Amino acid sequence: MENASYQRIVLAARPQGKVQLTNFRLETLAQPTFAALKDNEVLVKNHFLSLDPYMRGRMSTAKSYAAPQALDETMIGATVGKVVASKHADFRTGNDVIGMLGWAEMGIAHGNTLRLVTSTVPLSANLGVVGMPGVTAWYGINQILQAKAGNTLVVSAASGAVGSVVGQLAKLKGCRVVGIAGGERKCRYVIDQLGFDACIDYQLAKTEKELFTNLSVAAKDGIDLLFENVGSTIFDASLACLKPYAKIALCGMIAGYNGEAPVLKNCNKLLTMRAMLQGFIVTEHMEIWPEALQELAELVVKGKIKYHETVAQGLSSAPEAFIGLLNGQNLGKQLVKLS
Ligand SMILES: NC(=O)c1ccc[n+]([C@@H]2O[C@H](COP(=O)([O-])OP(=O)(O)OC[C@H]3O[C@@H](n4cnc5c(N)ncnc54)[C@H](OP(=O)(O)O)[C@@H]3O)[C@@H](O)[C@H]2O)c1
């Protein structure tokens, strides 16, 4: 009888500039069995894989806050799935778990790296709005920006997994929220569906000056709080609109993840506006995750936070979906449905 198999995707080659399909390789392996598990290990069949911008950083060897992804190994990634077999006391067959099983249909994880799904939201939402991206938004809004009623907050990549939650949390606190996003569909979505006050379509601006002008009209009294996800000319336009004593949560600079040098001409505003800027990595603040996850789940269940998922079908679609994410093709959280 033929052994059952599963598929995984490994990093085949490091990208030079933009990520290409040839950077990945799909492999077929024999399914692990219960007998293959060591003490405290768990065998998980993955249902959803999360695709996230940080993966682009891991594909390169540039010095960063985390070690690079190894060549010929399963691509790193957060997953939700079901326990198939367990040699860990805390996990039983049939449990839904969140882990870092990577770009693979199944895998073995040490129980210490898994978390039982406890929230009442749909399984996939544990990778987005009630998962790492949601907690990132929560951390920036509550711990760094300390958003208050009456503040004007600007968030870039506004319709994405993090940005969409940032804007909604800020609205719940009584802020005026201005998004920046690419294209009319994304801008309409954050205004009409998520309740942002305004959204700048940066693709419409032909020059940096036009982008600045559009933003300064939407944030007419200036920016109190900036949640930065993109970098480049988008960040620069926001810097030019800062109010005195503005606060900036520097969450991501995706426009430079292929190695482009940051374009920042308005750094002087950090000084002249006496601004506070804090970069952060959400996984360094695990102490706030339980509170953040609980609050986010409650807000989603009550309908106070909405979310959208872009779901690619099947593991083999992951490379194309990831390239799409880096090119702005996703609306909301980018996922891959594995089974
Ligand atoms: N610090 C942390 O702990 C942490 C945790 C999670 C995420 N992040 C960062 O947060 C940011 C958003 O992550 P996410 O998961 O929510 O992704 P996302 O917003 O769902 O997807 C990425 C979005 O970035 C925008 N984008 C891509 N390239 C761009 C470019 N060259 N110029 C302008 N916009 C570009 C696109 O939106 P548009 O079409 O609107 O441009 C794209 O849809 C990323 O920078 C990520 O690295 C940081």
154 and 60, same domain (yes or no): no
How far does the chain reach from its first CA to its final CA, in angstroms?
Answer: 24
DSSP state of 4: P
Nearest Cα residue to 184 out of 201, 207, 167? 201
Domain range holding 25?
A: 5-128+307-337
165 and 105, same domain (yes or no): no
191 and 258, same domain (yes or no): yes
Whether the CB-CB separation of 306 and 193 falls below 8 Å is answered with yes
267 and 320, same domain (yes or no): no
118 and 146, same domain (yes or no): no
Q: Is residue 214 part of a domain?
A: yes
pTM assigned to the model:
0.98
User: How many Å lie between the centroid of ligand 1 and the Cα of residue 252?
Assistant: 7
143 and 278, same domain (yes or no): yes
| Amino acid 9: pLDDT | 98
CATH of the domain at 85: 3.90.180.10
Nearest-atom index, ligand 1, CA of 250: 1
The residue whose CA is least distant from atom 40 of ligand 1 is 181
| Amino acid 1: pLDDT | 43
The residues of the chain scoring below 50 in pLDDT are: 1
**Which secondary structure element, helix H or strand E, spans residue 337, and what is its range?**
strand 333-337
| Amino acid 339: pLDDT | 87
Whether the CB-CB separation of 103 and 74 falls below 8 Å is answered with yes
Instruction: Determine the residue of 229, 264, 322 to mutate for testing ligand 1's pocket, defined as the one with the most ligand atoms within 8 A of the Cβ atom.
Output: 229
72 and 154, same domain (yes or no): no
Amino acid at 60: S
| Amino acid 262: pLDDT | 80
Whether the CB-CB separation of 201 and 210 falls below 8 Å is answered with no
| Ligand 1 pocket at CB < 6 A | 52-54, 133, 136, 157, 159-163, 181-182, 186, 229-230, 232, 234, 251-252, 254-255, 280-282, 325-326, 328, 330
The residue whose CA is least distant from atom 20 of ligand 1 is 160
Residue that the structure tokens 């995750």 belong to: 289
| Amino acid 224: pLDDT | 98
231 and 244, same domain (yes or no): yes
CA angle at 47 for the pair 45 and 53, rounded to the nearest 5°: 115
Whether the CB-CB separation of 86 and 71 falls below 8 Å is answered with no
DSSP string over 133-201: HHHHHHHIIIIII---TT-EEEEESTTBHHHHHHHHHHHHTT-EEEEEESSHHHHHIIIIIT--SEEEE
User: How many Å lie between the centroid of ligand 1 and the Cα of residue 242?
Assistant: 21
240 vs 175: CA distance, rounded Å = 20
Stated length of the chain: 339
137 and 255, same domain (yes or no): yes
